[in-house]
Amino acid sequence: MIALSLADISAATLAVSLLLYLLLDGTDLGVGMLLFCFRDADSRRRLTATILPIWDANETWLVLLAGGMLALFPLAYSSLFSAIYLPLFIMLLALVLRAVALEYRGHVAPRWHRTLDNLHQLSSLVAAFMQGALAGLVVGNQTQAGPFAWLTLYPALCGFGLIAAYLLCGCCWIQWRVRGPEIRLAHHLAWLFLVLSLSLLTAINLLDSRALLQAWQRPPGRIALLLMLLTLAGLLFAMARRRPVLALMLSLSLITLCWGLLIIGLYPWLLPGRLTIQQAAAAPATQLFLLGGYALILPVTLAYNSWAFWVFRARVR
């Protein structure tokens, strides 16, 4: 029972790290992709300025996730890495290029700004798609289907669905953080990306509804579905009344509930159909040691994220 309890806690810790990455850096990636829709230099400057001070802190959660997976679930880490190395490498390369585009924009001549902005938006798009496709490979149990399985229908739909969700969060972020003409376009785009997100979410579950059906058979899954409907109704109200902060919080809550519903449907599998949480977990002593470290690191990381948001809370003009 102690090993089982430790394994569940370890898996929950990694799930929280991944969720926080999706919420925080996902919004940044959404803003980066939205550069496609804002062509003038001043608008791009404002959009970039909203995420420049915080993007690196948001990526800390991805580092914690990777390190935690290696230490807490080494068997799952080795199985996944050997099976998804190509899309994982593409995603990491895209994140590096996004960092280059962001950090160097303020240190080069203006004639290079458009080139770096194009790199920023393309790398954000690729990173977002790859993250969704990787999730589709794992959830759809296609990690052994070959190096290009991420281009098949289910992972690709997951990739496009995550892109739409990130873009929705990015639109809400812009309405909150920017003081300028970009707010109007971001408001209209938010409706488009909400419809796209819901349509793609429906298509994904129609294509493979095993996790959803399993979640529905469990009381927490029914509660999560009910909360999703209530959150969606609140999001529609917030968007109609043009309340960007509330809309952003509800968009992030909707992603959180989708993530929670997926976990409820997949439990106790870590790699569906292959490895359960208990089978993939490290030794109890290793888990205790690592969880003690996480207990110190997680509050510090959360405090650092909160401090960065507070310092740069002013709207960008």
User: What distance in Å separates the CA atoms of residue 188 and residue 170, rounded to the nearest whole number?
Assistant: 12
Give the H or E element holding residue 41: helix 41-51
Helix (H, G, I), strand (E, B) or coil at 316: strand
For residue 205, what pLDDT is reported? 94
Collapse the DSSP code of 53 into the 3-class scheme (helix H, G, I; strand E, B; otherwise coil) and give the result. coil
Taking the chain, what is the end-to-end CA distance rounded to the nearest angstrom? 56
pLDDT tens track for 104-161: 988 888 889 999 999 999 999 999 999 999 999 999 988 887 788 899 999 999 999 9
Residue 2 pLDDT:
40
- 44/21 Cα distance (integer angstroms): 24
Q: How many CB atoms lie within 10 A of CB 149?
A: 20
Q: Which two tokens stand for residue 56?
A: 């690196």
Bigger pLDDT: 188 or 148?
188
Per DSSP, 315 falls in state: P
Q: Is the peptide bond before 272 cis (omega within 30 degrees of 0)?
A: no
User: Hey, what are 67's tokens?
Assistant: 């390190």
pLDDT score at 4: 53
Mean pLDDT throughout 89-118? 93
From the CB of residue 157, how many other CB atoms can be counted at a distance below 10 Å?
21
pLDDT at 39: 85
Residue 218: strand, helix, or coil:
coil
Q: What is the pLDDT of residue 166?
A: 98
Tens-digit pLDDT profile for residues 2-59? 445 789 999 999 999 999 999 999 999 999 999 999 988 899 999 999 998 888 888 8
Residue 57 tokens, joined: 């802190």
List C-alpha distances in Å: 277 to 11, 180, 271: 7, 48, 8
Distance CA 94, CA 112 (A): 19
CB 309 within 8 A of CB 172: no
Cα–Cα distance measured from residue 271 to residue 138, given in angstroms and rounded to the nearest whole number: 6
pLDDT average, residue stretch 269-285: 90
By C-alpha distance, which of 223, 240, 241, 254 is closest to 26? 254
C-alpha torsion sign, points 144, 217, 226, 200? positive
Answer for the pair 48, 114: CB distance below 8 angstroms, yes or no. no
Residue-level pLDDT at 114: 92
| Distance between CA atoms of residues 128 and 58, nearest Å | 14
pLDDT for the residue numbered 3? 42
- Per DSSP (E only), the strands in 107-170 are none
Model confidence at 223, in pLDDT bands (50, 70, 90)? very high
Report how far apart, in Å, the C-alpha atoms of 129 and of each of 125, 156, 167 are: 6, 8, 12
**pTM summary value:** 0.95
Which amino acid appears at position 95 of this protein? Answer: L
Nearest Cα neighbor of 46 from 185, 181, 188 is 181
Q: What are the residue ranges of helices labelled H in 84-218?
A: 85-104, 113-139, 153-177, 182-207, 210-216
